[in-house]
Amino acid sequence: MGATEYVIPLAERVRKRHRHEADKGKVTSFAVQLEVFTENQWKVVIRYDSAHGYSHMDRFYRDGRRVKKELRLNLKEALTLADEDIKDNWKAYEGAFMEGK
């Protein structure tokens, strides 16, 4: 089983963190998240992962709320969606998070 892990800076205080494990080419677990540096720490804005035994997305808010959405995708499809969504929409997610929306 192999693990792939990396962090990609998207802006001065914004980054994407990616981690997945695969066994013989099949994704067995993953977590991809958008993080913003604010209040002297990195905070998660959006996280896609396979914790709890299924693929889902968590959206975090500055006031501490978190909303979970089940994706109903296999792990490979969910991992692809996570990477593409954060790549395409990180500015909107970061802006909404910083504005408290």
Place of tokens 């792939």: 4
d(CA 83, CA 62) in angstroms, rounded, equals 23
pLDDT tens track for 81-90:
999 999 999 9
Q: What is the pTM of this model?
A: 0.93
7: its two tokens: 């962090």
51: its two tokens: 């914790």
Domain count, the chain: 1
**For residue 93, what are the domain limits?**
2-99
pLDDT at 100 over 90: no
pLDDT tens track for 3-60:
999 999 999 999 999 999 999 889 999 999 999 999 999 999 999 999 988 999 999 9
Which pLDDT score is estimated for 76? 94
Residue 62: which of 17, 6, 100 has the closest Cα?
Answer: 100
Place of tokens 């997945």: 20
DSSP designation for 12 = T
